[in-house]
Amino acid sequence: MPVPVLFHPACQRHHPGPGHPERPERVVAVLEALRAADMASTVEWCEARPATREALERVHPAPYLDGLERLALQGGGVLDADTAMSSASWDAAVAAAGVALDAVERGIATGSAFGATRPPGHHALAARAMGFCLINNAVVAARHAQQLGKAQVLIVDWDVHHGNGTQALVERDASLRYVSMHQYPWYPGTGAEDERGVGNVFNVPRPPGLPRQVYARDLLAAVDAALEGWPPDLLLVSAGFDSLNGDPLGGFTLEPEDMARWTALLRERVAPAPVVGVLEGGYRLDLLAAGARAHVRALA
């Protein structure tokens, strides 16, 4: 069965500034890779709807969202050393969250889906943008899944950076579990192994340059620990492809086939729960494209 791939044109219109690594070409590269002729039977294209304010406010307080929208209306501006908005960035962020929401809906209906979300989300805190992220797409999607009856949601994050925003938003709620493998010490400096939340956080901090088999093994071991006695109703993958060997913002040694293998093994482990991927990082376009192709093929 083809994998629904959710997208929205507004995700290409977020411009954080000249030379910024989180550039529009990222999502273009993903979509072009998935539109290749050899992917035609694998992908079902679906344009998403922008997220509703109700869905966003399950995660982010209204004054924070109002501030982002206001800054965009003023033409944009700098939020922190890494994170900036242009006039179109609010529309892009709401579209990206909508891509994640609709990916959950399609994933529940078909068994799997992938959302080409940009800007990424896993560093976004409840009331603070950081690390290129404005809205936490994965947690917005998880809360939406719970509204649709998927009471227990597992988020697995293989981005090379720790998803500090995701952890902060879920660590006091036992209905959500979070597994993150990330380079450590590295930006944003969080994600130590002893950060456990209410027993629902499973961090796998690892140094750069290890054999790829070590990273592949250790993420699966953490997932197995998270699943022990706790069958999820939905699995969300925060799919960051900056953990691939050669990405300029990380030092991991993984290859696209490692993401494919992870995806296949995760599907087996959580079956019959749906599996939904949402795009996080990835800053070398050829690697990002190859990683997305591998992940979506395995979702099929």
CA distance 230 to 248: 36
CA distance 161 to 182: 5
Among candidates 115, 100, 106, 99, which has minimal Cα distance to 48? Answer: 99
- The active-site residue, picked from 15, 123, 144, 295, is 123
Under 8 Å CB-to-CB from 151, ≥6 apart: which residues?
A: 175, 233
Q: Around 91, how many Cα atoms within 13 Å sit in the side-chain half-sphere? A: 12
Does the bond joining 188 to the residue before it have cis omega, within 30 degrees of 0?
A: yes
Check: CB of residue 116 under 8 Å from CB of residue 20: no
Q: Which residues of 277-299 are buried (b: 16+ CB within 10 A; e: fewer)?
A: bbbbbbbbbebbbbbbbbbbbbb
Tell me, yes or no, if 123 is annotated catalytic: yes
Q: Which residues are the active-site residues? A: 123
